[in-house]
Structure 1
Amino acid sequence: MTITETAPPTINTLVEADPHELDTSANVRDDVDITDDPVFIESVATHGVLQAISAVRRADGTLAVIDGQRRTLAAREAGLTSIPVLVREETAEDKAATIERITAQVVSNDHRTDLTRGQRMSAVSQLLDLGMTVPTVAKKLALRTDYTEQAARAGRSANARRRVDDGQLSLEGAALLADLEAVGEREPWVAEAIENILDRDYGIVWPLEKLRRRIGERADASDAAADYTARGFALLRDEPSTNTGQWFSLADLRTAGGDAVPADTPEQAPHLWHVHVHTPGLIWIDKKTREELDESEIDFDTEDDAEAEPDEGTVHFDSVEQTRKWHFEFFLHRDHLADTGLAVAPTVAALIAGEEEDQDSDDGLTAAQRAAARAEAEHVEAQRAERRKVKALNRAGATATDLRRSFLTGLLAGKSAPKNATKWMIGTLAVHGDVFTEHKCSERYAEIMNTPLTSAADKAENATAARAEVLLLARVLTAFEARLTGTQDAKDYWRFSAKHYRGMVGIDRYLTFLADAGHTLTPVEQAAIGNISVDDAYAAVSDD
């Protein structure tokens, strides 16, 4: 904030400040519409703010308006960039008084239901900013602790508060938006992505979740590539196309003598090369040897049983662990090609040149050889394009799993099951009763219900008939969730449209039931049950 001091610092200091940078949120009610008073705005535009705004300076340097909210808003509307503000340092007494005022406004307005949900969220954020803890705020305002924690995050975002009031976002979605906006303050690409998402009129939770996962993946990739970037390699976030002449992989290039490029060539001049980092996902490795193991080499039945003997040809579950596997691939931009002394391979050159230049080409190839070279290059590019497609769909599958399980947790926390749930269970289990044999059944139940499967009988014993039906539904739905994602928590269930992929029978019934219960199916889930094609799903989830 740019502030011009006009007097020596005293208890009260008169400063000139930009009205857009003043915090006017001290009052819980933030729906003052100054445009309803055009005469006042015109007066401020003509004469300026004649009576100084009163404000306190917080510890972080921001100025919080104590008296003069309407004058500040009018100055903003009039386009003023500087107004007089009488400032004093915030004291403990000021904080206590603000806490008391906000609390009183929330409690009294709650009885009259005058406050919007967004305004309550803002109040929670303000109280935490004043130094109160989540449990204290929850107790003082008679709120659940989990609600208070999410409201505190969401309340810091005007976009989130507005979309909660409009019914476009749940509290959880609003908290996610606020968290992403905080990242966007440091990462311009995130801010731009959020802006594009918010331009949509509906369905913004899915792309927000996708963006959240993308941020995490980029951070993981940066960490994985840290050794390379420290040596001078530039990090390439997405695998580039190599059939346009812009980028070249090692396989696309040749030495001056026409030989294949040695694998260690990029290490000789890292400042000329980009490294692309990607992961096929989690793998199992032996804890001692660190060697990769196939899932078939592990006896999963020995989990949590140290004395159990694994089946012949397999290893005990306790001797393995999961880790993320990373692949590193090097690419050269055409601007650096001359600096390396390398040449483009004839196959790639033929593809780049295009058929219209066949007659004038001096690459030493016959027309038939050139056509074969082009076909081979196109085949290689098609394989790379397929890899990009699979990675994008798998990434979307992981995001969809997060959203679906969050929906399940909320659905199964209810006092009663959706209409016709029992009929659906009877019809489904008559055909797919073996779903309870899925390896991860108990883990999925415990994860989604936040309680072990072994406690289900006791909970049903003390539950109402309606709640007992919910517990039965939880057993069925979490078993299908285990079938959908498999033992490895797989993301590729979008392949189910090929029918019975990975033994995923009944998945169409499962996802359709969730949709009928209120879950918005994501593109990968739509593809899994055949509502849309895999190509359409890819088009919907592809990142820019």
Structure 2
Amino acid sequence: MSITEHITVTHLTDQPHPEEHTIEAPADTAPAATGVDLVHVPAAAVVIEDNVRTAADLDTAFLASVKRHGVLLPTIGYRNADGAVVVRDGQMRVLAAREAGTTVPVFVTERGDSTAARIAEQLVANERRTGLTDADRLQAYRQLELEGLSATAIARETGTKRDTVKQTLTVAKSDTASAAVTSGQATFTQALLLAEFDGDPDAITELTECIAEGYDDDELTHTATRLRQEAERREARVQVHADLVAAGKRVVGEDDDYESLDRLTDAADDVTDYAERTPLDAEAHAECAGVAWTVREYGTPEPVQVCTTPDAHHPRYLGHRATSTVGSTPEAEKSDEDRAAEAEERKAARRALVANNKAWDAADVVRREWVAGLLQRKTAPKDAARFLAVALTRHATIRYANGMVSARGLLGIEATGWEGDVLSGWIEEHPTKGLHLSLAVVFAGFENTANREWWRTPDRESRGYLNQLAAWGYPLSRVEQLAAGIQPTDDTDDAAADGEDPTTDQAVTE
């Protein structure tokens, strides 16, 4: 079945509004358009009338469509004194048909108007055309698929890239995503993210709220990356949880009160030497009434033993008050209310820790992609030389940090071999990219140093590196703002709105 079988062509004409001044044909000319004939003329034989459109660049997709289907919408013209068909509206279609070596359908009318009338008609014809909306395309592509056309066939029939067709069909098949596009609540790019998480109501809710709050594409990228990682970890966590249950272990959740074994000890409070305040031994703790298990998500989810009765032991890390009152009168027994408040405080701190750790892992992916893109630009960023000078002096140890991130990876070099040989060979082939290479080496060092502790305890490296990236245009996520020494509050947003740069005194120059 051809895509053209269900296409109906309708010629719409704007109704003129009464105006004080109108363009009229000269009095001695014949009346316009007493009859209309539809003729098909070889494109090479058609005369193109003077046109208000001065740039007639043929779009590749449009030309491909004409080559496959011919000219679907008739042009509008008239016959000149020599009997040749002159096209007034449709020069792009005529030019494409000439390239395709085909004919052009023309509505031939009787014309007797002036140059001013021609210009006015061409302006109206070109400016009063409304393109299809994303919602229109969603419905049309979906209907074509239901008619039996594959994504490849739709792409071929419409002259559209196959990836674009696949993305459109993905959105069309998601009720949430298609509704968001149709209602105007989301752009097509945003709807693609909604479609990706179709079937995950929590992720859909979070993305929808972010879109409603006006998140830009960069912020949504951070959120979507984190949600993808959470989905992968959730699947792995479910499996670890199932294995624990199958083994007869007691498993606690986020709403339960528990403490990790490394924060508890059986050493008495009067033992102040931390070398002697050893954490609880998992094997020995197995006899405790509070023995339980949880799934830790530092990287790959794994089972970890915890204690649900932390008060049966002692805190491993003594606070200032505890160490300064050794030998004094013991504290009064805690009330049930105090114990409940402490338990809630521990749970709240643990939830915040888990949320920020997940956000940090997602930010790692987005930030490294952005840094790699920065290195692909023709010119190095502003103040790159100063940044390198400070990084190689004040942050000298960063240069030697090893890890998953490499300079060759950030530069997109696919050659294998020892890093130094690969990079030196690359710079010989790209002698003008010395600054880019130096940046890649330092970036890799910072990225291999970056870890979850950066947001908990920002240091000179985290503040200097992240604030410098922000100065170059990288949008710091909220957890990265913490690592940069910026509290993500309304005050920060207000300062930015007033033209102030809250990162200025925290840049890598510090």
TM-score by length of 1: 0.45
User: Which of 1 and 2 has greater Rg?
Assistant: 2
Q: Which has the higher helix share?
A: 1
TM-score by length of 2: 0.47
